[in-house]
């Protein structure tokens, strides 16, 4: 296992749930996704009190989906007791280095998270459509740069879901690094039960923690970068890029059409694809880490922004899946030396 990288696993956040039934409902919806099956699950439970019986049924639910619970995190003492009885590992996941914006309005962020999860896991397609339409309207406004700044500032690591999570790796050594920017703190009574998994996660995050100080994004820099990106020339292409074709630009690139697997788009500025992005996209190729890649459907084999790389998870690495009816515009940008993808919606 590579450092701090939850191999074949992901974190499920059901801390907003106030009842056991809600947890089970949420969990079964998330676990039912094809990408979520046969994986390790780290469960965030929040403050709900769970009896051993209830916890057993949650465990059985996870196991029925061929997944297993790696560990849970909870703030309820009775849940910790129940977990001890069932020999489930407990740890407290906390964001040690939150962006200032997160602290200012925690409740708002939670609501957004809920909204984001609803949109991602919502079963009704109509929901997604309205949100896409709203987005189109908003894009017509002139003062989008300010909106975009807010939008970026409000992204929380948890909004990365298994669906759009990319495995990132170092540009120099291609080593997988942390997926989640979360700092685990092991609860006192379980300190002696520290296993490899947790210690590795911790040590990897420490390294990350040091770096974050320097690279954490700066609003002034971001604004400056947005202005500069606006001034760059933009290459406008109205056709589909096919395998083997490559487009390089000193400025921004806008493609009205698909970018098929096997093709590549390299730009010093931003890349916008009005279609399915299935190939390789490299934005900010001269080193601008504020560059962004947008697509109606993000299915890229690799994303590169400045010197940060991310590749498509192997679980969805099936060459022929690329066309769908539902288009959810997504945007990739760099946060803490990792590429994250988020839906293009307003907070």
Binding site for another protein (CB under 8 A): 174, 243-246, 261-264, 301-302, 309, 311-312, 314, 317-320
- Per the CB < 8 A criterion, the answer to whether 245 and 226 are in contact is no
- Using the Cα atoms of residue 283, residue 285, residue 286 and residue 289 in order, give the sign of their dihedral: positive
Q: For another protein, which is the closer residue by CB, 73 or 164?
A: 164
Cβ 187 to another protein shortest distance, Å:
35
Cβ 319 to another protein shortest distance, Å:
6
Q: For another protein, which is the closer residue by CB, 12 or 310?
A: 310
Cβ 299 to another protein shortest distance, Å:
11
- Per the CB < 8 A criterion, the answer to whether 198 and 71 are in contact is yes
Helix ranges restricted to H, the chain: 20-31, 52-64, 77-85, 100-104, 106-121, 125-139, 144-153, 196-215, 219-231
Phi-psi region of 303 (alpha: psi -120 to 50; beta: other; left: phi over 0): beta
- Per the CB < 8 A criterion, the answer to whether 277 and 299 are in contact is yes
Cβ 303 to another protein shortest distance, Å:
10
Q: For another protein, which is the closer residue by CB, 74 or 168?
A: 168
What does the buried/exposed string (b/e) look like for 190-226 if buried means 16 or more CB atoms within 10 Å of the residue's CB? beeeeeebbebbbebbeebeeebeeeebeeeebeebb
Find the Cα–Cα–Cα–Cα dihedral 151, 156, 160, 166, rounded to 10°. 80
Cβ 103 to another protein shortest distance, Å:
36
Cβ 262 to another protein shortest distance, Å:
5
Beta bridge partners of 308: 305
Cβ 273 to another protein shortest distance, Å:
17
Q: For another protein, which is the closer residue by CB, 108 or 175?
A: 175
Q: Is 92 helix (H, G, I), strand (E, B) or coil?
A: strand
Q: For another protein, which is the closer residue by CB, 199 or 317?
A: 317
């Amino acid at each position: 296992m590579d450092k701090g990288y939850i191999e074949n696993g992901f974190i499920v956040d059901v801390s907003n749930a106030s009842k056991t039934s809600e947890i089970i409902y949420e969990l079964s919806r998330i676990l039912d996704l094809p990408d979520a099956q046969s994986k390790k699950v780290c469960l965030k439970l929040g403050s709900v009190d769970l009896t051993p019986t209830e916890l057993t049924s949650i465990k059985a639910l996870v196991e029925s989906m061929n997944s297993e619970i790696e560990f849970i995190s909870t703030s309820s003492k009775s849940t910790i007791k129940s977990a001890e009885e069932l020999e489930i590992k407990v740890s407290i996941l906390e964001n040690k280095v939150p962006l200032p914006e997160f602290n200012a309005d925690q409740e708002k962020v939670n609501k957004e998270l809920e909204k984001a999860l609803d949109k991602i896991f919502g079963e009704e397609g109509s929901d997604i459509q309205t949100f896409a339409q709203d987005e189109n309207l908003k894009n017509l406004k002139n003062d989008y740069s300010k909106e975009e700044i807010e939008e970026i500032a409000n992204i929380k690591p948890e909004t990365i879901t298994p669906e759009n999570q990319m495995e990132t790796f170092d540009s120099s050594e291609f080593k997988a690094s942390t997926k989640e920017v979360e700092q685990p703190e092991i609860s006192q009574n379980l300190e002696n039960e520290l296993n490899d998994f947790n210690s590795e996660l911790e040590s990897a995050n420490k390294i990350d923690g040091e770096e974050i100080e320097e690279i954490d994004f700066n609003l002034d820099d971001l604004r400056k970068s947005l202005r500069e990106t606006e001034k760059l020339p933009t290459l406008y292409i109205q056709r589909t890029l096919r395998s083997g074709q490559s487009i390089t630009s000193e400025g921004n690139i806008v493609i009205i059409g698909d970018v098929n697997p096997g093709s590549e788009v390299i730009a010093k500025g931003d890349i916008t694809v009005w279609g399915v992005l299935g190939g390789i996209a490299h934005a900010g190729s001269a080193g601008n880490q504020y560059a962004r890649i947008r697509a109606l459907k993000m299915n890229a084999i690799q994303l590169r922004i400045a010197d940060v790389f991310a590749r498509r998870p192997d679980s969805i690495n099936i060459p022929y899946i690329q066309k769908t009816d539902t288009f959810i515009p997504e945007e990739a940008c760099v946060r803490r030396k990792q590429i994250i993808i988020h839906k293009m919606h307003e907070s």
